[in-house]
Structure 1
Amino acid sequence: MRRERTRDTLADLALWVLLCCPVLLRAGADGGGPVATGTGIVLLGVAVLVGRRLPLPALGIVVALSALEHPQLISPEYAPALPVFGALAGRRSPRARPALLTFAGLAAAGPALLFATGGELWSWPGQLAAVFFAVVVPWLVGRYARQYAELVRTGWELADRMEREQRAVADRERIRERSRIAGDMHDSLGHDLSLLAVRAAALEVDRALGEEQRAAAGELRKAAADATARLRDIVGVLRADDEPAPTVPAGETVRALVERARDAGVDVTLHENHEDHEEATATAASAETTAAVPEMTDRAVHRVVQEAVTNAARHAPGAAVAVSVVREPDAVRVTVENGPPARPPGPPGGGTGLVGLGERVRLAGGSIGHGPCPGGGFTVTARLPTATTGHGAGATPEAGAGAGTKAGTEAGPEAAAPVTTTSARELDRARRRVRRGLWQALAAPAVALVVLGVVFFFVDQHIRARSLLERERYDLIRVGDTHEDARTRLPEHPLESRPAGVDPEPAGAGRCAYYRVHQYSDDSAYRLCFKDGRLASKAVVSDVDNEEDRP
């Protein structure tokens, strides 16, 4: 915080020094008063000082300094300060309405300023042009920079939020997978406990046993029944509220799973091999192969094949799927590979399926890997130990996290409808604001140029018409006429000064006024000189480069 404050202070000091340079240079060039120069430097320092907290008042100070120097805000001393503070006001102002009201106030105050300084109302369009191009356009640029910075910041915030949400989803999927494992254990343990209760009940009614043995058998039967009930309650608590009961048949083998997928239309083949890689062709041999596999590993193998085949059916429709289950001396290696899709795939999943699969394999003490194939397909490989190990022994804790686009869940092949999230809506709004700011920064000057061009055209035509003297009226004016008589035939306003390129007035000509000969040409003009209240001379004067065109 202290470093940022020091950096801002140094930046403000450098800005103040740079903006004071034109004021000092102008004062040294034309000998400006020290009071005006010192006041300007101090007010510029005040504007820089309050500019971060009050950007619009700081801009107002600079505009007031420019207006005091020139009614049309065209002053060499403060010309660089106007666009700088205009851009800073757009960059630092959180809302646009106060700035727009300020600009409207400046435009409305223009006529009052012109009347107070003795200027003409026809100078107001030039003042508006100066305000627009020196203040409003830099403000638009600054506002666009602010909106772009907000878009970048919003993008990073959304990325951070999405990363946290992804971690939370992965954690929830791991917990859900553990509840599925608990359900599988309920199926197997419940079956064993039920058999135990049945055998205990048989012993309880066996007359060959004594009363003490039958009572013990009855207590054993009751304990088995209570254990089964408690197991069912615990599994019910672990299962999420929105998670349905398992639909996979209890104790289903990998071969049965593959056959069920083949019946559903998936082109899937199964290879079950021993360590010597000889294919097991009989169902009995397959049962014998998996008989020695622990229950946890067996269910994990089934889960890997189920998830991989489901993902292949969803994300690579029509592709051939090859399932390989290889029994090694101390592990079972499962490989599921699919080719590129034969039809357009559905939308990508959220990656939670492989996250849960990784948790299942980790708890079984194994490892899993997945990724795209060189030919465009996808491969899932898992290795699960056949020896009984502790939960997660030798496993990769984050296996399955950050799944690729092939990841999915156990849901059917129907693709879920796209959902517009809050993060996506916020990012879309930020992008629209930036696009709108860019359009304003580019289009507003172009529109203003057209509007001001039209306004200046009509203003110029009006000014030209006010100083146009028709030839008939010029011929009626005689040398020697009084000033009052001549005024009745002259236009409302003469030209402001002698036209460029015209010879100076002759010595002793008196006070001369110039009027237009042609409304759309400045090559010639009428010169009327009055002395002692009477017209002393009149002539048609032209640019020295066009003397041959004089009438």
Structure 2
Amino acid sequence: MVWKSRVRRLWLRLTAPEQWSRRRTAAESTLATVLALLGAVEQYARGLGWVRVVLVALLVAAVCLVRRVLPATALIAAAAATELAPVTGCLLLIVAGGSAGRRIDGALRALAAFGAAFLVFEGLPLLKDPTAVWLLVFNVLLFLVITVVPGLAHRYWSQRRTLLHTLRERNLQLLREREMVAGQARMRERQRIAQDMHDSLGHQLALIAVQTGALEVSRELTDQQREAVGVLRQASVAAMHELRAVVGVLKDGTVEDGPVADERPAARVVAAVDGLVESATAAGLKVRTVRSGEPRPLGPAADHAGYRVVQEGLTNASKHAPGAPITVGLHYEPDSLVVEVANGPAPAAGGAPGAAVSGGQGLTGLRERVRLAGGMVHAGPTGDGGFRLAAVLPYPEADGTDPAFAEAGDELGGPGRTAADDGVPVTGRSAPSEEFKDVLGPHRSKGCLIGIATALFLLVGLVLLIVAGVGKVMDEAGRAMLDPGTYAAIRVGSTEDEVRHRLPSGKSLLTSGLKGKGPAVPAGASCLSLLSTDSAGPAGTDTVYRFCFRDGKLIEKREFRVKND
């Protein structure tokens, strides 16, 4: 029953949906089909039976398809396939080596898998022909080129891609944390400013209100003085309400319109715009009000900001364009309220309307107030030489909060709350070493450098082995091969020393298999067999030159063909 459960788990891994996307299915099917056809053609060209042709094709296709799930098994099977189909097996070994280098976890497991594949790749030819020891060096070079190098390259690029992805995610996380920290810093600074304003200005305005209230009932003042003191007292009370509103906006974005010293709260909202217009008209300004749309309620911060827009616009118009006509607009759009104050060009004696932008900090503070309410402000000259101040103020959310602070709450983990409220530090993320541990694994923090160094070492060793191998082959060929011209120039009856002086030694691995082949050796003679440098002739055969000596003379030279192994 154990093997059944293992087979079931293997089948589930092979058929997992995440393993076979449309793009991967098409690519894997194409690759497996191409390699299977190459294997079948290679077997057919060697004159093998149809049964072996089909079996080799199925084996190659199966190894190609399972290499992602069973990388070590596919690598060893590909090494074994090189004995059945050398060309197709080498191509399959390149694919399996790259997949194994990328997907086998752990350096020891990867080393064991590649070592087992190397033993299979080297051992099967030796089992078939124990005398083919000279192929050992060539097979080592071939295995390094088609298996180890692709495996190291895929392993390095896979770790590099994973590391870059992790670094990108870490960078995005740090950017989000920086924005959160900056938002909290701004909130703390606003709260500090609000507290300072409340403690200093609030106290001074309360003293002014008390002193002016006492003077107003003093019998020593005239009626005119008493009226002036009453105006001062009302102004101080209004200033206290304004201060409370500003403190509320700075703290949490709400307008505090609660009573102070049992006085009536100041109405600094959009509904009180008519009072501002009446006051401005009484002061001699030419002001008219334009309304459109169905009036809708605003959030506390937005309602107060709309009043401030009209107040700032009237103040700027009266200062910088005295005598110019002013239009106050309240336009209730489907998603927001548009508040605007526009004045025409100033008369010749008046100042330039653009001066309102360059002086003071009124517009700067107004923009911050409107931003806290979730809106935006536009201020600039008009085409006729006038000036226009407009603000867009969104309606409140479903829970009555202002849009700007609802977004801040969502960013920090909930409406109106911060991460610190829940006892969670803003930057209390996992350490970078912990995050990269999944990428690099334990004891593999220098895995990429080790992989590169190993690859360079193998490449240098490969070049040296290739150079040594080429030199060895050329040396073996020089001791075993003879050109046809030299063979024709040698005459039977010449002395053995003269002939051997003109011939190679013949002591080479290339001539080791020529013993016992060809015509019978003359009685009492010793012969030297060499390979011809002329490759003309039937395919699969070699031309052999044989020289036989007896009693210090050349008694026979013969040319014949043998099948190469």
For normalisation by structure 1, the TM-score amounts to: 0.46
Structure showing greater relative contact order (alpha-carbon pairs closer than 8 Å, 6 or more residues apart): 1
For normalisation by structure 2, the TM-score amounts to: 0.45
